Chain A
């Protein structure tokens, strides 16, 4: 404004304006300066590696020798690699069972906790504690619990007259075992659902009660729709996490994926190729396949969002 008609502006206002713009320039400089660590971090630890890994995925690269361009060969090899196909199947199997189960069980427990019964915070702590146990510790605890001969789980099964399976030693039961021990650690999402439930405005329930809706109807028509954004968030995060499943199966099987590759997962196979055989190009191609799966599934979920996720209008 001051530039448009400088003659009409009083001198004091002009100096004020220039002082103001000087201040803004200085402030802007501080803005960049403060953000500098992350600007460097973004370039160095995120954008550069992203581009580099895409490049490596088109090369043969063992670190020891310079990368050699091979075009789409790595991706073509992936299509024919039986172990890769199994690892992809196992990863999707695990995701497909673990994520929906964790949501149903998590929401179910949170709904009961939300009944405001006595001891709510004690129960919440009980469910939360296992999620603080490091994954490596989780694997060892469950190896012991699921021990086919001396494990507590098979003892309990025997007590009710069911012969316990070999769990992690059996091709058919190894992945269900993994789902089971992963479900043990869903305490964090229970806490998130509970917080979501406590955010549901009381008026809605009061209005529904006046209209004669019973507890179950209220749950189905008010509570559940209103926490769909939280469920959606957990669905996305749970899916991304499940697709990257690594520590549990790796430590359980010492990186072998046994029995018979039934515990070989995508990220595990990637790790074995990259850091075991130094096939960095091949491993990078796998990382990009994983990335594309994550993007595709996330996009699909976002596309379905309109049909079942209800966001409350913000005033």
Chain B
């Protein structure tokens, strides 16, 4: 009686597990195959039938892969862009969301409507004029275009944070105002700390977005010394397409940290995703 979907019969339960294990295998095997390949010697790559566990586990593929490509250059470039862009949205979006949610001012409703409307515009429409503007500023071939706009707000995060601020009780500001706190102090000292979970979600989304972005760096960066991890990995494939063990070792190194991050802040991930989907 505790749950509606509960299957009383053990047969149904077993069928559900069989289904989930089967589908789970589809989702996990590419991932495990990547790890397996990353530990193989090159003469075991093309065995038929394929071998899941290499006869000798070659950990040295990892340091070799790092040597093979300017790994730390790519890593540094990617991290710099991702961290600056994350800092950007954390500085700009909460304060705008707060203004839209908690301060009555003429035009705030119109601004909110515009915020919702611009979410509909595909990035490709605005991409070209923005590129041309940055070109005139001489910032093409630098990473500036990839993080600077973040400091001017992103509609989706503003929307998300506005919804969050709307849910906080009104008494908080009133009490602070009676105590003589200034508006900025009310925002930064009282309201901002309360939306820590929403901030974590926004930070996570932006970091992941910048870290995995391919199109942006492709448009703005053309010198190898400026490549992000994603550009670097794509270029690596074109140059050394047959050395699967090196590529897979690189891929493990760029995906596993993100997955570990997921396990640490799983709640924030799930909350963020479900929030975007249903609220």
Contact = CB atoms under 8 A, between A and B. Distances in A.
B5 A56 contact: no
Contact of A35 (B46, B100, B183): B100
Contacts of B153: 37-38, 41-42
Interface in A1-37: 24, 26-32, 34-35, 37
B29 interface: yes
Given A42-B114, A116-B6, A196-B278, A287 B20 contact: no
Given A42-B153, A126-B28, A196-B277, A34 B255 contact: no
A288 interface: yes
Interface in A117-137: 117, 119, 123, 126-130, 132-137
Interface in B11-62: 12-13, 16-17, 19-20, 23-24, 26-31, 33-34, 37, 45-46, 48-50
A264 interface: no
Nearest to B135: A63
B115 A38 contact: yes
Nearest to B232: A136
Interface string A227-247: 001100110000010011011
Nearest to A28: B105
B236 to A, nearest CB: 9
Given A46-B118, A155-B50, A230 B277 contact: yes
Interface in A265-283: 267, 270-271, 274-275, 280, 283
Nearest to B236: A140
A254 B122 contact: no
A287 B183 contact: no
A157 interface: no
B172 to A, nearest CB: 15
A295 interface: yes
Contacts of B230: 134, 136
B237 A290 contact: no
B122 A280 contact: no
Given A38-B111, A134-B255, A187 B27 contact: yes
Interface in B228-245: 230, 233-234, 237-238, 244
A271 B123 CA distance: 12
Interface stretch (A94-102, A165-173, A199-207): A199-207
A27 B183 contact: yes
A50 B50 contact: no
A31 B103 contact: yes
A65 to B, nearest CB: 13
B270 interface: yes
A208 to B, nearest CB: 8
Q: Bin the interface of chain A by size.
A: 35 or more
Interface string B120-160: 11111111111111010000000000000101110100100
Nearest to A248: B214
Interface of A: 24, 26-32, 34-35, 37-42, 44-50, 52-53, 56, 63, 109, 111-117, 119, 123, 126-130, 132-137, 140-145, 149-150, 152, 155, 184, 187-189, 191-192, 195-197, 199-200, 202, 204-206, 208-209, 215, 218, 222-223, 229-230, 233-234, 240, 243-244, 246-247, 250-251, 254, 267, 270-271, 274-275, 280, 283-284, 286-288, 290-291, 294-295, 298
22 contacts: A26-B183, A27-B104, A34-B103, A40-B152, A41-B92, A44-B152, A49-B129, A49-B130, A115-B5, A126-B28, A127-B24, A133-B255, A134-B214, A144-B248, A189-B277, A196-B278, A215-B5, A243-B122, A244-B122, A244-B123, A250-B218, A280-B132
| Interchain residue pairs A-B with the least CB separation, the first 9 | A41-B152, A205-B4, A31-B105, A192-B277, A38-B153, A31-B103, A49-B126, A34-B99, A134-B212
